[in-house]
């Protein structure tokens, strides 16, 4: 998505940190999360220890791309100047069907039309040749 001219750039994700497998997965159109190899709990963001059983053993795995909007917030102030051109914008909390929660944006939907319980699917938005971000869109025909 191109940035309107004259605005500062949006913040970029850090691609070389502990979530590197997540960001690499997005480039391949997958959502990857940590799965504890001790108890099976799936988690994101990355952490050294499982919050359920405290094991330090984990693997990265791809999960499904559908989920449910749990809640949302509409921002009327640009905390980062790069978002001025999108004001107001909504941030949704999505619980994946077989994974953890993610905070992101709902594309193609006005903030006034967002409701908890709506079914969504992942959208992979390329920022450039290196970075892809995860967003969501309503599943066609859903009117929760």
* Closest to 135 (Cα-Cα) out of 89, 111, 102, 86: 102
User: Is pLDDT larger for residue 70 or for residue 5?
Assistant: 70
Sign of CA dihedral 79, 124, 15, 38: positive
With H, G, I as helix, E, B as strand and everything else as coil, classify residue 83. Answer: helix
How do residues 29-60 score in pLDDT, each as one tens digit?
999 999 999 999 999 999 999 999 999 999 99
Q: Is the pTM of this model over 0.85?
A: yes
Q: How far apart are CA 30 and CA 10, in angstroms?
A: 23
Sign of CA dihedral 124, 98, 73, 82: negative
**Which two three-digit tokens encode residue 1?**
């998505």
**Average predicted confidence (pLDDT) for the chain:** 92
Q: How far apart are CA 94 and CA 75, in angstroms?
A: 17
How do residues 57-89 score in pLDDT, each as one tens digit?
999 999 999 999 999 999 999 888 988 988 999
């Amino acid at each position: 998505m191109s940035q309107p001219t004259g605005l500062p750039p949006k913040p970029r994700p850090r691609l070389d940190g502990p979530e590197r497998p997540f960001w690499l997965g997005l480039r391949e159109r997958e959502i990857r999360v940590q799965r504890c190899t001790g108890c099976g709990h799936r988690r994101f963001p990355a952490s050294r220890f499982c919050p359920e059983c405290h094991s330090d053993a984990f693997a990265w795995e791809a999960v499904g791309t559908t989920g449910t909007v749990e809640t949302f917030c509409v921002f009327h102030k640009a905390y980062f100047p790069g978002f001025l051109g999108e004001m107001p914008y909504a941030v949704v909390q999505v619980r994946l069907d077989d994974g953890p929660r993610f905070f992101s944006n709902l594309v193609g939907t006005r903030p006034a039309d967002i409701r908890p319980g709506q079914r969504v699917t992942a959208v992979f938005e390329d920022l450039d040749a290196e970075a892809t971000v995860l967003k969501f869109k309503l599943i066609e025909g859903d009117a929760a």
